[in-house]
Structure 1
């Protein structure tokens, strides 16, 4: 396994200390693992500390999955992780990004019944 694969695995399991250690050892925060995904794309969505750490180290918040077009913000919205969604937005994730099915993060939150996420994103949209 490569450092990027290890970093992606640590991110996927919400292992903040492991992510920090691998970044210190030189793992590329925007590198892709053997499945073609970045650590931010595979991170445990409920792990806000991992999201904040990756983003603070330069992870690109708007990287889209090549097969679906979804971004990490789409994933957080679909799964209902409002805290992670807020961190992604803090680091300039695009709430208007559309996936290959023309869905925005708010659309996926609505389809999944995450009313708190829908309301938050609608308020954000109204403020801009």
Structure 2
């Protein structure tokens, strides 16, 4: 695990900021030993809201996915980190994308009994869809896709079919 990933996972804001300011680490680096998690995935999974904010402010892409198609919102929903979900939503992160198994973050929150997250995500999904529509109409680009994951996902489906 890279230094920035470790700092994000433990929520060490000073270390994260120091690494980002020195431009010593890429905030979007995927950790191949941990299913392609980025520092943002780690911060969201551990519930470190301010670390999520800091990473975002320093260029962390909010829609990157792990090997299994999990976004930071999937990790926050699974573990019941409502404050992280609220922040991700306010930053227009994709909170309604399906993972490799077809589950959205709201489904993970349901499975693990995080009713506060379920209620929030149901409302947030509607708001996100309305915002996406407005953004498309006004030419506002949203960073919701992960081209690298989509290509790997396509390749996996192609190899299964052949």
- TM-score past 0.5 threshold: yes
- Matched with 2:69 is 69
Distance 1:125 1:31 in 2: 27
Q: TM-score, with normalisation over the residues of structure 1? A: 0.88
Query: Aligned Cα RMSD in Å?
Result: 1.6
Question: Which of 1 and 2 has greater Rg?
Answer: 2
* Greater alpha carbon shift after TM alignment, 79-88 vs 24-33: 24-33
Distance 1:10 1:116 in 2: 28
**Judging changes above 3 Å, is the alpha-carbon distance between structure 1 residues 33 and 70 closer, same or farther for their aligned structure 2 residues?**
closer
Q: Which has the higher helix share?
A: 2
Distance 1:34 1:24 in 2: 24
1:21 corresponds to which of 18, 24, 38: 18
Does the CA contact (< 8 Å) of 1:45 and 1:84 recur in 2?
no
Deviations 1:11-39 (A, max 9, x none): 01110111000111112111234524311
- Matched with 2:54 is 53
**Structure 1, gaps ≥5 residues long:** none
Q: TM-score, with normalisation over the residues of structure 2? A: 0.71
Distance 2:116 2:30 in 1: 32
1:96 Cα deviation after fit:
1.7
**Judging changes above 3 Å, is the alpha-carbon distance between structure 1 residues 21 and 104 closer, same or farther for their aligned structure 2 residues?**
same
- Give the number of equivalent residue pairs: 124
